[in-house]
């Protein structure tokens, strides 16, 4: 129901009214009681089930398709998995438990989420009051650990994992935690935004023009009006993990850009980030900057996620809403696996709104010759893609047991 765009528990009626397709569906009061009785132990079981389902989906993708899609930056394939952490504000229009005023003057919740950039899967999330700090290291560490637990052993211990955040994730404790997970055999690295402080401003002004290099776009071409420089060694990074580098991009601001007083004085917009990716292996400042800029795609994942469950929380109870968030993450995964396992071309990257147009098809279920048939209208534009998706679904290998 959530994957289909439902916004309230009562929206289960859409499935309940189609018993031929969905079988027996819980009544609205039964669904409410289920969510109300869900505690942290039950949520942990749900997370475990999601991790097991994810392992099956990834194995199916590896066997029948090209596996988990790779992320690209500057025209190059990024090895491994990319985890994007970001928080968002969800407005509440009534009093709800732990809803609170937000830093933007609104009222509601401030969940923190982690998405897999490779596929758009929602690995983990934590519901928080609206006044929760954007840069709370403990919350970031919890969400990161839950995200890593969603990745099965073959990928968690056998591939590089890059953790990206905006400047809210630049706390020393979080970066030390990313470094510490390497002790568990997880090859984790970080790329996080960093606030422009007075020492940063002095370093930028002291940087000779000859050390600024043209910035790149995602396709590898030069980015018009943008330059990159490395400030490592010019700024004190005491307390940060050994090998931390600091890189800055400056560019002509686009119309409507929000500029600090420093940016207004310089006539350029500046963005700074930290990373522990070494120079060896292609870790140039230009490449690392465009790789970090790809973190912006998490905004698209959050926007789509808000149409897949967590755009509004249905209950006055914080516990019910926390369960709703966890179910929303599962719904986002279902759509992601549909794209990866069953679809090609533009539909393989389609957002939920378009996928729902694909799935809401005028069709008839008929029975004959001991078989059940789905007859799709001949005028439906994606009838062939939908039929192909059904055939692929039927051909997927079943998990053992």
Where is pLDDT greater, at 23 or 108?
108
- Residue 181, both tokens: 């997970």
Q: Write down the domain spans for the chain.
A: 66-311, 361-395
pLDDT at 87: 97
pLDDT at 29: 95
- High-pLDDT (> 70) share of the chain, %: 99
* Beta-bridge partners for 371: 368
Separation between Cα atoms, residue 8 and residue 333, nearest integer Å? 19
Residues in contact with 174: Cβ distance below 8 Å, sequence separation at least 6, in sequence order: 137, 140, 141, 144, 165, 192
Q: Which helix (H) or strand (E) holds 380?
A: none
pLDDT at 369: 86
- Whether 25 shows a pLDDT value over 90: the answer reads yes
Band (232; pLDDT cuts 50, 70, 90):
very high
With H, G, I as helix, E, B as strand and everything else as coil, classify residue 371: strand
For residue range 340-375, what is the model confidence (pLDDT) as tens digits? 999 998 999 999 999 998 888 878 888 888 888 888
**Cβ(269)–Cβ(250) below 8 Å:** yes
Where is pLDDT greater, at 56 or 259?
56
pLDDT at 258: 77
Q: In what order do the strands lie in the sheet with 222-230?
A: 122-126, 112-116, 81-87, 160-165, 187-194, 269-275, 245-251, 222-230, 213-216
- Whether 44 shows a pLDDT value over 90: the answer reads yes
- Whether 401 shows a pLDDT value over 70: the answer reads no
Domain 66-311 has CATH 3.90.350.10: yes
pLDDT at 189: 96
- High-pLDDT (> 90) share of the chain, %: 79
Band (5; pLDDT cuts 50, 70, 90):
very high
């Amino acid at each position: 129901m959530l994957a289909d765009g439902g916004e309230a528990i009562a929206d289960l009626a859409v499935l309940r009214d189609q018993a031929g397709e969905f079988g027996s569906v819980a009544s609205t009061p039964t669904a409410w009681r289920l969510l109300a009785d869900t505690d942290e132990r039950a949520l942990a079981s749900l997370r475990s089930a999601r991790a097991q389902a994810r392992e099956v989906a990834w194995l199916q993708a590896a066997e029948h398709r090209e596996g988990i899609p790779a992320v690209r930056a500057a025209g190059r394939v990024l090895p491994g998995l990319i985890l994007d952490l970001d928080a968002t504000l969800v407005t509440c229009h009534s009093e709800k438990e732990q809803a609170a005023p937000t830093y933007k003057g609104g009222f509601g919740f401030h969940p923190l989420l982690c998405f897999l950039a490779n596929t758009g899967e929602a690995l983990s999330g934590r519901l928080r009051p609206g006044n929760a700090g954007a840069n709370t290291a403990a919350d970031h560490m919890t969400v990161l650990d839950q995200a890593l637990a969603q990745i099965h052993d073959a990928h968690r211990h056998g591939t590089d994992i890059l953790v990206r955040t905006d400047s809210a994730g630049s706390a020393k404790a979080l970066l030390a935690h990313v470094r510490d997970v390497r002790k568990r055999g997880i090859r984790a690295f970080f790329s996080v935004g960093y606030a422009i402080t007075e020492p940063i401003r002095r370093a930028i002004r002291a940087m000779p023009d000859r050390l600024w290099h043209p910035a790149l776009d995602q396709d590898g071409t030069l980015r018009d009006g943008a330059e990159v420089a490395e400030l490592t060694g010019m700024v004190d990074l005491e307390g940060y993990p050994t090998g931390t580098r600091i890189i800055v991009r400056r560019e002509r601001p686009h119309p409507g850009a929000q500029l600090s007083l420093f940016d207004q004085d310089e006539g350029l917009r500046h963005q700074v980030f930290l990373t522990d990716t070494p120079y060896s292996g292609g870790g140039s400042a230009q490449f690392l900057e465009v790789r970090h800029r790809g973190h912006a795609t998490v905004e698209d994942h959050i926007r789509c996620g808000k149409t897949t469950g967590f755009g509004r929380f249905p209950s006055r109870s914080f516990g019910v809403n926390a369960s709703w968030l966890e179910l929303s993450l599962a719904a986002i995964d279902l759509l992601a696996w549909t794209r990866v396992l069953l679809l090609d071309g533009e539909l393989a990257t389609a957002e939920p709104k378009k996928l729902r147009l694909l799935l809401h098809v005028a069709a008839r279920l008929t029975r004959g010759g001991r078989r059940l048939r789905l007859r799709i209208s001949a005028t439906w534009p994606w009838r062939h893609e939908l039929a192909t998706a059904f055939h692929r679904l039927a051909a997927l290998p079943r998990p053992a047991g």
